[in-house]
Amino acid sequence: MKHFEINGKVREVGNKAVIKAIRKQGLVPCNLYGQGMENVLFTVTDKDLQGITNTPNSFIIDIKLDNGKAYTAVVHELQFHPVKDNCLHVDFLAVTEDKPIAIKVPVVVSGHPVGVQKGGKFVLVSRFIKISALMKDLPDTLDIDVTPLDIEKRIVAGDIKLDGVNVVSPKGTIICTVKATRNMSAQASDEGAAEGAEGAAE
């Protein structure tokens, strides 16, 4: 998985007024936590953070702070303004190379489903699936060939098989499916009616 570097400035615990003042400066308050370590509070410029928030991609984040310390992390939670849609807060989870990392990875589909060729409609239900793997085994995307997908068939999270990767999302999570369309139902009805008329004529 690709790495993305951000530079942060250590901050102190603050009340709502302090946090509001931080955001007015174009900064986003962040929190880094992990097992066996104290929480680290810092800020990142909104501009720098857009490399993470304005993309569907997932990254391993290399955090470099102004006190000389550096951490490796993944995004745990993003909070956005309900109207302006700008990022208000980020929680990072510290990770290491020797322990499995749980992270959401974008789904990328390829191929032309046979069900679509028959008149069905392809529907991508889940754009992300949560997986767990060592850092060296984490894929940038989950690539799925949807060519064999027929009408009313689906691909679920449990169908994903990658060496060294465990699927964390529920196995029954639907990733994509091909649904029958109204035109197909109408066509089937017309064909049924025609067969019925032919039978009556005979």
Give me the pLDDT at residue 199, please. Answer: 53
**Tens of pLDDT, residue by residue, the chain (202 residues):** 999 999 999 988 878 888 889 899 989 999 999 988 999 999 999 989 999 988 989 999 999 999 999 999 999 999 998 888 889 999 999 999 999 999 999 999 999 999 999 999 999 999 999 999 999 999 999 999 999 999 999 999 999 999 999 999 999 999 999 999 877 655 555 555 445 545 554 5
Beta bridge partners of 29: 43
Helices (H), the chain: 16-24, 46-53, 114-117, 182-201
| DSSP structural state of residue 59 | -
| Amino acid making up residue 50 | Q
Beta bridge partners of 155: 176
Q: What is the number of residues in the chain?
A: 202
Nearest 5°: the CA angle 125, 86, 77 is 55
The reported pTM is 0.80
Nearest 5°: the CA angle 16, 55, 156 is 110
Compute the CA torsion angle 62, 66, 67, 70 (nearest 10 deg). Answer: 10
DSSP codes joined into one string, 94-122: E--TTS-EEEEEEEEEES--HHHHTT-EE
Rg (CA), the chain: 24
Compute the CA torsion angle 187, 189, 195, 199 (nearest 10 deg). Answer: -170
H/E run at residue 79: strand 70-80
What are the structural domains of the chain? Answer: 3-95 (2.40.240.10), 102-185 (2.170.120.20)
